[in-house]
Chains A and B, each alone.
Chain A
Amino acid sequence: MDNILSVQGLSKHFKGFSLTDVSFSLPKGYIMGFIGPNGAGKTTTIKLMLNMLRRDAGSVSMLGMDSVVRETDIKQRLGVVMDQAFYVGEWRLTDVEKALKPFYTKWSGDTYANLLKRFDLDKAKKVKDLSRGMKMKLMIAAALSHQAELLILDEPTSGLDAVVRDELMDILLDFISDENKGVLFSTHITADLEKIADYITFISGGRVLMSDLKDDLMEKYLDVRGGLGTLNAEQRNALIGYKEHSVGFEGLVEKEKLALLPKDVVVQPCTLDELVIRFNLEGKKHDA
């Protein structure tokens, strides 16, 4: 499988936070959900990919090209959507096109106009007068108007209502119908991932804790619950995100380790939410 995006050993150190050895790959034709709690390093990773931050170590390859050496070639085919609009507030939507068009060899004015129409965006409006959902749609319209093959979205659904989020997911599904394209979007909302993500990469505390096909992850792990004092130390260590409360414990276990646990524990398929919560807890344990 050809990878449209490959991140290897990416590291960046700040005072008080470090992104360490982040690695994951996204094959062509798929959507990857890049998930993690607030402050996990999602935006830092994306900014490193875009060369907005200077990396301490690691490499990034997009569309088969090194992201530093072939930066301008990559960005001709890359669409970026951030959680905040990054255009001048005083620009009208026509001004946005005038500002962006000169930079892209494959800019299509017709595509831009059609997308604005589809998204119900008035060309004469100023960026500052758009709602949050409209700004998101504007950025997507701009990203799709230069025939982007790889879309990178940083928390695009944050602060949006369910209707707009659903619209955005449909747009991404439309985009990915071309098997030569790819989408990476970061979020902390698992419901979005459940709808459209093929791959999940989970990051916490600046480290990637898992990266795999969503369906494989859901099959690989099981949700386990039971009474207090049911497990010995070895069995507790086998659980991911082990947590005790007043009436019992809960955690995740890999299917192949289920045999280690007593027969009287309650086992059920895990949800994506549970996966994220447990891995986040596990990540915090390692950091402590």
Chain B
Amino acid sequence: MMRNVVKCAMLDARTIRSYLKNMVFMLGLGVVLSLVMKSPTLVMTYMVVILMMVSTYPFAVSESNQMAPLYGSLPMKRWHLVAGRYLYALVMGILATAFSMVMMPLVTRLIVSPDAGDGTPFALLLLGLFLLVCALQYPIFFGLDYTKSKTFGMLPALVVFLGITLLPGLNKTLHLVDTHSLLSGDGAGGLWGLLLGFAAAVLVFYALSAYISFRLYNRRDL
């Protein structure tokens, strides 16, 4: 059963592979932008934006190529496809996070003091936010066809980024997060505890989202 889930994740990767060629340029653009803006963390946030686009590519490509009969003819259950897509998003998130964690120190060395922090906590936070957005979006895409769901699919992402934008203001008022610690990787103030708690909450939410997606997709006529 798990093998079929992995096969479905690989099928998703193959489905979008030819659409990823321009990703190389977009990744390069992210690096250039962070050098120009002298902001090492821009590599990571730019990466998350690209990831959010890429995470819905399998839905878009499968609908535009009318691939429903392929999924209907392959020897797999619907839950394999759903779980495979969540696995695909998770793997994409991890790979992108790893890339940005490699690039960020390089960018940091080019533009600021070599003593700046490694930004690992920030990268992990962004990975968690990406998975959270997927968890919010995917049930919409599994429940409706791509054309209908793309209108509402970005709403969760908008809410999350609005929250991130407002967070410094909220943080200033409520002293929620020690931003310096977050960016420098300093474990003071229970930062790692906070991140672990956030990671656990995201994973639980991710799994719940997968269950909801399966229930919606299982009822759908393809």
Chain A residues in the interface with B (C-beta under 8 A): 47, 50-54, 71-76, 78-80, 82, 84, 86-91, 95, 98-100, 102-104
- 8 Å CB contact of A90 from B11, B18, B72, B73: B18
Interface string of B205-222 (1 = CB under 8 A from A): 000000000000001011
Cα-based distance from A89 to B60 in the complex (angstroms): 13
Q: How far is the CB of B2 from chain A (nearest CB, A)?
A: 13
25 A/B residue pairs, CB under 8 Å, sorted by A: A47-B72, A50-B69, A52-B68, A52-B69, A52-B222, A53-B221, A54-B219, A54-B221, A71-B77, A72-B4, A78-B73, A79-B73, A86-B67, A86-B70, A88-B61, A88-B67, A91-B14, A99-B11, A99-B14, A100-B74, A102-B7, A102-B10, A103-B7, A103-B74, A104-B75
The answer to whether A80 touches B14 (Cβ under 8 A) is no
The answer to whether B75 touches A80 (Cβ under 8 A) is no
A contact residues around B75 at 8 Å (CB): 71-76, 103-104
- 8 Å CB contact of B18 from A78, A91, A98: A91
Cα-based distance from A52 to B42 in the complex (angstroms): 43
Confirm or deny: B65 has a beta carbon within 8 angstroms of a beta carbon on chain A. yes
How many chain B residues touch A (CB < 8 A): the figure is 24
Residue on A nearest B221 in the bound complex, by CB? A53
Q: How far is the CB of A90 from chain B (nearest CB, A)?
A: 4
Known: A71-B75, A98-B14, A99-B14. 11 other contacts (CB 8 A): A50-B73, A52-B72, A72-B77, A73-B75, A75-B75, A76-B75, A78-B73, A80-B73, A88-B65, A88-B67, A91-B18
Confirm or deny: B19 has a beta carbon within 8 angstroms of a beta carbon on chain A. yes
Q: How far is the CB of A165 from chain B (nearest CB, A)?
A: 21
The answer to whether B72 touches A87 (Cβ under 8 A) is no
B contact residues around A102 at 8 Å (CB): 7, 10-11
Cα-based distance from A170 to B14 in the complex (angstroms): 33
Residue among A51, A71, A72, A98 facing the most chain B CB atoms (10 A cut-off): A72
B contact residues around A86 at 8 Å (CB): 65-70, 73
Q: Would you list which residues of chain B between 73 and 102 have a CB under 8 Å from chain A?
A: 73-77
Confirm or deny: B184 has a beta carbon within 8 angstroms of a beta carbon on chain A. no
Interface string of B35-50 (1 = CB under 8 A from A): 0000000000000000
Q: How far is the CB of A101 from chain B (nearest CB, A)?
A: 10
Decide: A75 near B74, CB < 8 A? Known: A52-B222, A90-B19: yes
Residue on A nearest B70 in the bound complex, by CB? A86
A contact residues around B10 at 8 Å (CB): 102
Q: How far is the CB of B23 from chain A (nearest CB, A)?
A: 14
B contact residues around A76 at 8 Å (CB): 75
A contact residues around B181 at 8 Å (CB): none
Q: How far is the CB of A283 from chain B (nearest CB, A)?
A: 24
The answer to whether A80 touches B72 (Cβ under 8 A) is yes
Q: How far is the CB of A126 from chain B (nearest CB, A)?
A: 9
Residue on A nearest B21 in the bound complex, by CB? A90
A contact residues around B11 at 8 Å (CB): 99, 102
A contact residues around B149 at 8 Å (CB): none
Confirm or deny: B15 has a beta carbon within 8 angstroms of a beta carbon on chain A. yes
Q: How far is the CB of B215 from chain A (nearest CB, A)?
A: 13
The answer to whether A80 touches B69 (Cβ under 8 A) is yes
Q: How far is the CB of B28 from chain A (nearest CB, A)?
A: 22
